[in-house]
Amino acid sequence: MKIEQYKIQEHNQAGMAAQQRAFDYLSGEIKNVPEILQQLMAFQVGIPSWALGTGGTRFGRFPGGGEPRNLEEKIEDIGLIHQLNQSSGAISLHIPWDIPSNPTHIKTMAAQHGLRFDAMNSNTFQDQPGQEHSYKFGSLQHVNKDVRKQAIEHNIEVIRHGIELGSEALTVWLSDGSCFPGQLNFRHAFQNTLEGLREIYAALPDHWKIFVEYKAAEPNFYSTTVGDWGQSLLYANKLGPKAYTLVDLGHHLPNANIEQIVSLLLMEGKLGGFHFNDSKYGDDDLTVGSIKPYQLFLIFNELVEGMDARGMNHTTDLGWMIDASHNVKDPLEDLLQSVEAIMITYAQALLVDRKKLLAAQQNNDVVTAQEILQQAFRTDVRSLVAAARMQSGGALNPLALYRSEKVREHLIRERGAKTMATGL
């Protein structure tokens, strides 16, 4: 479904007076407004193909109706999100959940919606029908060479699909690990995994990157073979210049200082990609910014500082993707909220007075340093984000327009109330 462009115009016109008042006030308070607007307009967040259906838990799933039935409909849904917010111009595919049977058609269709293909994701954490060997005891770490070979070949197949779509990165998240002490020889598991990753790395085209995603626990609960950023960095360093660490916000032990992790990974030139979500207890995959918005701001603050220190392009030099999925919201509304939270936080991070912050740090002026960060965090930048969005052709309030246009009702009429998107 697409919303008629004139409807977006009407919606924007209706809210313009209030928006302009807020924007004029903010413009008087902050510096570099035109530059920040340009940065916000350029910034794009990849939407995962698995987040368009209602997520399940291990206890149940309650589909909300109108879920996309195939990859084409998933692209339509992301196209709609992008049409509304102009900040979701990329799609991240999970194979085999979304194998493009006709890649030329899929690529053209995505381009028509203004979407490109962000990192491809492989899946060796589930067994697929007809698969010869089981991943019950791991994939790349497995004690049996045939299982490892199957996992390597799957990843190479994912790269092939990605090449056809114009993607330039592979994200490898392994559920490999162990549930009980003694189950695994840690060193053998690491070495097998490294050997497998090396074969996958060798199959990457020259301009491609491989992202090694880590996760502290789940589904294995005693050890994870790529369990933290140190292990991921170890693999990435051993693999070579095309290998990077991917940080998923939900994949840390409680209270981990994620902003420090991203700062040091950036310093090493080894931060490649980012998975946004939020959590209270574990890998909860909740809406970005819904639980710990200040932590998200502190992370973005380090991202901006670290990227600027290396002269990196904020938009293109890291893979920005959402990785969230849950079972009580309309998935499209949730994604609109998540992208909005990211844009707001990015804008706030751009407001930080870096010269003053550095001076405060040099003077051990702890109080001023905190004031500088919180000054930016407490600035209401919503009118700035909305102005950037409208300048790109998007809606003043994407969520409000989504609701007033009754998009979900339309999708249920078109696709049915009982559809279920592929994914978890």
Q: Which residues make up the interface to Mn ion (CB under 5 A)?
A: 248, 275, 323
- Which lies closer to Mn ion via its Cβ, residue 323 or residue 340? 323
Smallest separation (angstroms) from Mn ion to the CB of 124: 14
CA–CA gap between residue 342 and residue 153 (Å, rounded) = 35
Distance, first Cα to last Cα, the chain: 24
Beta bridge partners of 276: 322
CA–CA gap between residue 336 and residue 352 (Å, rounded) = 25
- Smallest CA-to-CA distance from 92 within 121, 58, 62 is with 121
CA–CA gap between residue 46 and residue 33 (Å, rounded) = 25
Structure tokens given for 33: 């407004």
CA–CA gap between residue 55 and residue 285 (Å, rounded) = 10
- Which lies closer to Mn ion via its Cβ, residue 41 or residue 291? 291
Q: Phi/psi of residue 245, each to 5°?
A: -90, 140
Q: Phi/psi of residue 322, each to 5°?
A: -90, 140
Q: Is the separation of the CB atoms in 267 and 228 below 8 Å?
A: no
Beta bridge partners of 246: 213, 273
- Which lies closer to Mn ion via its Cβ, residue 135 or residue 214? 214
Q: Where does residue 289 fall: left (phi above 0), alpha (psi -120 to 50 degrees), or beta otherwise?
A: left
Q: CB neighbours (10 Å) of residue 10?
A: 11
Smallest separation (angstroms) from Mn ion to the CB of 398: 24
Smallest separation (angstroms) from Mn ion to the CB of 424: 11
Smallest separation (angstroms) from Mn ion to the CB of 215: 8
31-41 residues labelled b (16+ CB within 10 A) or e (exposed): eeeeebbebbb
- Which lies closer to Mn ion via its Cβ, residue 51 or residue 239? 51
- Which lies closer to Mn ion via its Cβ, residue 169 or residue 373? 169
Smallest separation (angstroms) from Mn ion to the CB of 387: 31
- Which lies closer to Mn ion via its Cβ, residue 77 or residue 323? 323
Residue written as tokens 């060796």? 124
- Which lies closer to Mn ion via its Cβ, residue 270 or residue 275? 275
- Which lies closer to Mn ion via its Cβ, residue 125 or residue 137? 125
Smallest separation (angstroms) from Mn ion to the CB of 182: 29
Smallest separation (angstroms) from Mn ion to the CB of 248: 4
Smallest separation (angstroms) from Mn ion to the CB of 245: 12
Q: Is the separation of the CB atoms in 288 and 341 below 8 Å?
A: yes
